[in-house]
Amino acid sequence: MKDWKGNKKTTFVTLGASNHVNHERANRDFYATDPIAIQELYNKFWCFLELSNSVWECACGNGHLVKGLKEVAPHIDIFCSDIVRRDFPCEQIDFLKSNTSYYGDIITNPPYKYALEFISQGLSLVQGKRKVIMFLKLTFLESQKRKLFFDKYPPKYVIVFSKRIQAAINGNEEMFKKSSAACYAWFVWEKGYHEDVTIKWI
C-alpha cells in the first residue's frame, strides 16, 4: 500500500514533526542526549559564553547531560528536574508551569514539541543576562512560526556540531553508538539580547 493512502505516519513524516526519528516515537518525547554534547560545550565554550557555575537542567530525563557535565566540571551546581521521574533522582516539576526566578543558566534538551515554550519560559525565569541553552536539531531554524519568534527573541549564538551527535529514544544508550541522520546544535539565548546571531562550530 502506498504511504499516501492511509499510512498513519504520513503527516508526521511529511511535516517533520519529530525532532529525531520517524519510525518510532518516544514516551513523552524523551530523547536522551549523548553526554559528549555537554562536555564539548563546557570544554570549548563555557568561559566564552560567560556561563555561571549554577545550572538548571529542567528536562533531565535519565540525567545524561547532568552526568556528562559533572564528569568534566564537578564544581558546577546543577539543579535537576523533569515532569516525570525516571531512573535518575530529580525534582518532579512541570517546567512550563514554574514561576520560580532563576539566577543561573538553564540548559536542556527539551521535548521538541514544546521547544518554543521551553525557550520562552526559560527566558521569563532567568534573571539579568543569564542564558537559556537548548540542544536542538539545526532545522529548528526553519519554519514561519519560529521565524516570528526569532525576530523577537534571537539566539545570541548557534553552536553547530560538525560531527553528528546521537539522541537516544527513551534513553536507550545503545543508540549513542550509532550514526545520526540529524545535525544538532546548541542554541544559546541571552536574556535581553536583540542583536544578530553568531554561528560557531564544535
Say what percent of the chain tops pLDDT 90: 68
- State the average pLDDT for the chain: 84
CB 137 within 8 Å of CB 183: yes
159, 150, 156, 148: which is closest to 129 by C-alpha? 156
Whether residue 164 lies inside any domain: the answer is yes
The maximal CA–CA distance of the chain, rounded, in angstroms, is 56
Residue 2 lies in a domain: no
Q: Is residue 13 one of the residues assigned to a domain?
A: no
> Total domain count for the chain?
1
Q: Using one digit for the tens of pLDDT, what is the confidence trace for 22-47?
A: 444 445 556 678 999 999 999 999 99
Classify residue 137: in a domain, yes or no.
yes
Yes or no: say if 165 and 37 are a contact pair by the CB < 8 Å rule.
Answer: yes
Domain that holds residue 163: 23-201
pLDDT confidence tier of residue 164, bands split at 50, 70 and 90: confident
Does a structural domain hold residue 115? yes
The half-sphere exposure of 78 on its side-chain side, counting CA atoms within 13 A, is 25
| Residue 49, C-beta contacts closer than 8 angstroms, at least 6 positions apart | 131, 133, 157, 188
Most confident of 22-31, 62-71, 169-178: 62-71
Confidence of residue 165 (pLDDT cuts 50, 70, 90): confident
- In-domain check, residue 16: no
Residue 18 in any domain: the answer is no
